[in-house]
Amino acid sequence: MSHYAHWIQRTHFLDPDEYECSACGSRFARKRAVCPECGAEMHGSEYDPSWVDEAAFLDIILGEDSKF
């Protein structure tokens, strides 16, 4: 029996994007038609801007007046 899922694009501030399977949670460097881990057939994707939280954390550590 085939099951369906979608990719969740995890965008990071300093690291490359990752694509997470919504069915099993496995992460990969690129999207595929089928999840290599659980075999779910992919239909669509979702965007998760994780980099916003990472940038806010960096701002807390360095202080709001710091320059990159």
Instruction: Examine residue 68 and state whether it is found in any structural domain, yes or no.
Output: no
67 vs 41: CA distance, rounded Å:
44
Instruction: Examine residue 28 and state whether it is found in any structural domain, yes or no.
Output: yes
26 vs 36: CA distance, rounded Å:
9
Instruction: Examine residue 43 and state whether it is found in any structural domain, yes or no.
Output: yes
Instruction: Examine residue 44 and state whether it is found in any structural domain, yes or no.
Output: yes
What range defines the domain where residue 39 resides?
A: 4-62
Instruction: Examine residue 30 and state whether it is found in any structural domain, yes or no.
Output: yes
6 vs 45: CA distance, rounded Å:
5
38 vs 14: CA distance, rounded Å:
28
11 vs 18: CA distance, rounded Å:
7
Instruction: Examine residue 67 and state whether it is found in any structural domain, yes or no.
Output: no
Q: How many domains does the chain have?
A: 1
pLDDT digits (tens, 9 = 90+) for 3-24: 999 999 998 778 899 999 999 9
pLDDT digits (tens, 9 = 90+) for 19-48: 999 999 999 999 999 999 999 999 988 877
Q: Which amino acid is at 40?
A: A
**pTM tops 0.85:** no
